[in-house]
Amino acid sequence: MRIAIDNEDGRGAVDYSAVVAADSPITIQRGLNVPSRCTTELAVEAGGSLATPARRGYVVITNDAGATLFTGYLATDPVSIYAGEGFDGPLYRVRISAVSDEWLLDRQGSGASALTDGLSLSVSGGGLLTQLAMTAQAGSTSQVTVAAAGSARAVGAFAVQPGSSWSTNAAAAASASYSSYRALSGTVSLQPVGATVHSLSDADGTLDLAELSTQNLRELANDVTLSGAEEPAALVQEIFAGDGTTTVFPLREAAFRGTNRTLLRDSFQAATFDSSQWTVRNSGGYLALTSAGLAMNGGNGYDGQTTITSVNAIEMGGFVLAELGGVNFGAGSAGILSGFYEGATSLTSCFAGFRVRQSTSTSGGVTVVVPVLNGDEVGTVFTPAVGRSYTLRLRLYCPEMQRVMQRYYCMVEGEVEEFGPLTGVNAPMQVVFELLDEGVSTNTPATVLYDTVAAGTPLSASPATCSFVLADSVNLIGSVAYVEVTRPGSLWVVSTLPTGAQFTRLIGAAGTGADCQASYGSNAGSPGKVTFFAGRVPVAGERITASYRTEQRAVARLADAASVEAEAAAGAGVLVPGVSRWLGRVNAPVARSSADCESAAQAVLSMATARSAALSGTYAVTNPEEDIWPGDVLSVTSSDVTHSLLVRGVEVKDQHAAPEVLTYLIHFANDWAAEWADGMGLKLSAGIASDAVLPANPESAPASALANLPSLTVTSLSSTEIVVDAGCTPPPGGGFEVKRKDWVFGPGVDTPDLVLRSPVRSFSIPRAAQVEEYFIRMYDGSTPARYSRFSSGLFVNWPVG
């Protein structure tokens, strides 16, 4: 090997190969999705022609053919080691240790944005790695290139950990997409595991197959139970009666809130746009940062060409609130503010946003603001006053919290298998556009420009994800002081007046123009509550419906029936059971729901029932034809049996010979053999979550559950009955089952809590008490019948007299 070091002393790269100590040769250690390291000792004489290497020096290792094997930085000062006595006194060597190029990225940050709760959704591993590098290097003159072409495996949901190093986050992104990254020659590259296969056989005389060893680190598992994160469960509608004086309405359950609450926040006080949050198209210089915040000084007249867009897509689940504060409108303005887009940034692709344009009803032109929904204008046209500042709020509510499912990968017999759907979850949505004049009294209600509840036009379908475009400036004139996009949780409140008119109750803090504030409670025993502000108290006879999701631990249990049968047959003579059960937790990629746990369990079963997945060991080879990196696959044929082995570590050592002799010690471990924390596409830990309710019986495949009933509504409520519209047509041979308890649905379940079964979409539930609870699921005509995964709960506190 050849070693050159640039000590940043103006001399450039200097060749140190001649002073490498023979008994401490150049050694390169490569790990799977971790920085590579290079160590050696150099016999550098004080005052000689070669300077002692300096910390932060750049090291390049090449082989005799000129191929680059390692590049990186001396992260620490070289260590002096006594080597004996010479004619002129004691002799010393220096031991150096270099870290590959991503060390530079580790010094610049974690790759996390200014906010830590946002998720990257449905992004390829290459896209994630590119974004991590862009975020870490924002504003830096030292740039490391990312070459992630070909790494197209999708990651369902990925959250950057701000407390971890860049390389740790990069490793998580690469592993989630079942890929391997490497840093070499100033470039971080990413490629799918298995993209490079090294075929080896007994006939290859350069290989010492005697060094191949295999072992089973884990027994086969064919009955797997996995727990994940806390997930939203029953879709509850809790109904109260207003009396004109009551202001606090306690909920019976804690409402699911989730963890990803602040998605975007920016007050535009920095010198440049925050590239960790925004992608800015501003070739004409129409967008600028000033003491007033974001200044908008026109556009080129075309839609989608002058924009400021969120880096991460927004998952359109639960309650999403987008707020722009300190908004000023200038004359002649045109464009979209606070827009959620499905696809390209154009008016026709705008799912929801505030359109700013010139009025067509006045001569001379006046700037107006009008809501846009699915590309069309809706609701009230508002004319802002010149010189006034406004707050724009866009509220979006979807009863389904998770719209993007997780994706898991594993390798079996050299083939990478994928589990988890790629399509988004379709679900309905309610939308409210509101505007508040910041110059009025703090107890002034917000002006609602459009409310799908009040208009009677709820959206039966909505996009699973949207890009958030703060400003799409065709010719926007004005400024925005701040923007904040949050996900407060799953709680949404609607009022029905005695006249039958309905409208959304605005949830927020006092003094923001909202109607009420919400407390979500906790599963530790404190339920949530809704508290109305003075002047917004529900009137007598008003029906208040609080919609929310309850909370439970995500869990799934799957078994491989064929493996159970085969193991039982093989062990019949010694009374060994066919079932080999394993319980664990999904650590990464995060399993946000029981459906995600099922996908993860499929991956675990796929590898845990394949004996080749438990192979691990080492393999030694001298001067291989191709350089070998972690993430490559060895296809080794020995005794007519071919094994596909996932390379996890490589140690390359120079043997100080001429011609050159390089030894490669390769560590391999397939998915089921690796340590839990070192899993490739799935990181697990043994032992299930303590609060998980374990399924009594395993499923043979992911639950083919029917859809939930997110559009179920109460159409009328009286002292004797509740009339319900299930929101969808029942499946053939099925209908809707109503019970007084949850989790007692399904074939063979006792039915003392059964209230009724309805074969039609609209049905009546008889009632006799003021406080009642009902749970509803859809079922079909199959044998055994399939049911919705979660119930729709109706909690009623309504007089019967």
Total number of domains in the chain: 3
Overall average pLDDT of the 213-223 stretch: 64
**Residue type at 769 in one-letter notation:** A
Whether residue 69 is found in the same domain as residue 118: no
Does any domain span residue 133?
yes
DSSP of 601-644, one letter per residue? HHHHHHHHT-GGGG-EEEEEEES-SS---BTBEEEEEETTEEEE
Report if residue 200 sits inside a domain: no
Check residue 679 and give its pLDDT.
80
- Six token digits for residue 470: 């703060």
- Is the pLDDT reported for residue 360 higher than 90? no
With pLDDT > 70 as the criterion, what percentage of the chain qualifies? Answer: 93
9 with 80, same domain: the answer is yes
Instruction: Report the distance separating Cα 616 and Cα 731, nearest Å.
Output: 49
Is 563 part of any domain? no
Coil, strand, or helix at residue 355?
A: strand
Query: 342, 466 in Cβ contact below 8 A?
Result: yes
Q: What is the pLDDT of residues 470-521, one digit of tens each?
A: 999 999 999 999 999 999 999 999 999 999 999 999 999 999 999 999 999 9
The verdict on 142 and 59 lying in the same domain is: no
Domain boundary among 74, 100, 126: 100
DSSP calls for 481-538: -EEEEEEEES-EEEEE-TTS-EEEEPB--TTTT-SEEEE--BTTTB--EEEEPTT-PP
What is the structure's pLDDT at 114?
Answer: 56
Question: CA–CA distance from 572 to each of 221, 563, 568, 575, 578 (Å)?
Answer: 18, 14, 6, 5, 9
If one counts every other C-beta atom within 10 angstroms of the C-beta of residue 491, the result is 24
Residues 59 and 80 in one domain: yes
Q: Is residue 375 part of a domain?
A: no
Q: Which of 100, 123, 144 is the last residue of a domain?
A: 100
Please check whether residues 81 and 9 belong to one and the same domain. yes
Residue 174 counted as domain residue? yes
- pLDDT range class, residue 361, cuts 50, 70, 90: confident
In this structure, of 144-148, 494-498, 679-683, 756-760, the range with the lowest mean pLDDT score is 144-148
Does 508 fall in a domain?
A: no
What range defines the domain where residue 751 resides? 713-797
pLDDT band at 734 (very low <50, low <70, confident <90, very high): very high
β-pair partners for 797: 240, 771
**Among residues 77, 100, 123, which one ends one of the domains?**
100
Q: How do strand 754-758 and strand 735-739 relate by DSSP bridges?
A: antiparallel
Three-class SS state of 490: coil
pLDDT at 629 over 80: yes
Q: What is the pLDDT of residue 203?
A: 56
> Of 109, 126, 110, which Cα lies nearest the Cα of 161?
110
DSSP 706: B
Q: Is residue 82 within a helix (H) or strand (E), and if so which, with residue range?
A: strand 79-86
Choice among 117-131, 323-337, 345-359 with the minimum mean pLDDT: 117-131
- The pLDDT score that the predictor gives to residue 90 is 62
| pLDDT for 279 beyond 80 | yes
CA dihedral (322, 325, 330, 332) in degrees, to 10, reads: 0
- The better pLDDT of the pair 92, 324 is held by 324
How far, in Å, CA of 533 to CA of 513, rounded?
A: 10
Count of C-beta atoms within a 10 Å radius of residue 592: 26
Average pLDDT, the chain: 90
What would the mean pLDDT of 362-382 be, rounded to a whole number?
91
Instruction: Find which of 98-102, 202-206, 613-617 is predicted with most confidence, using mean pLDDT.
Output: 98-102
How many C-beta neighbours within 10 Å does residue 430 have? 21
CATH number at residue 176: 3.55.50.10
Say if residue 82 is in the same domain as residue 114. Answer: no
Chain center to CA of 657: 50
For residue 154, is it within any domain?
A: yes
* Residue of 268, 265, 287, 262 lying closest to 471 (CA atoms): 287
> Where does the pLDDT of residue 147 fall: very low under 50, low under 70, confident under 90, or very high at 90 and above?
confident
Q: How far is the CA of 39 from the CAs of 67, 80, 132, 652, in angstroms? A: 18, 14, 28, 11
Report CA torsion sign: 765, 251, 443, 456: negative
Q: What is the DSSP secondary structure assignment for residue 573, as one 8-state letter?
A: G
Do 760 and 717 sit in the same domain of this protein?
Answer: yes
pLDDT per residue as tens digits for the range 453-475? 999 999 999 999 999 999 999 99
Read off the pLDDT band of 633 (50, 70, 90).
very high
User: Tens of pLDDT along 191-217?
Assistant: 999 889 998 765 553 444 444 444 444
DSSP characters for 403-454?
A: -S---EEEEETTEEEEES--SPPP--BEEEEEEEETTS-TTSPPEEEEEHHH
CATH of the domain at 88: 2.30.300.10
Q: Is residue 545 part of a domain?
A: no
Task: Kindly state whether residues 34 and 48 are assigned to the same domain.
Answer: yes
**What element of type H or E holds 489?**
strand 482-489
Instruction: Find the mean pLDDT for residues 402-422.
Output: 91
Statement to judge: residues 718 and 783 lie in one domain = yes
Q: Hey, what are 200's tokens?
A: 């080896």
Residues 63 and 140 occupy one common structural domain? no
Give the pLDDT confidence score for residue 216 in this predicted structure: 42
Co-location of 130 and 62 in the same domain = no
Same domain flag for 135 and 154: yes
109 band by pLDDT with thresholds 50, 70 and 90: confident
CATH number at residue 772: 2.60.40
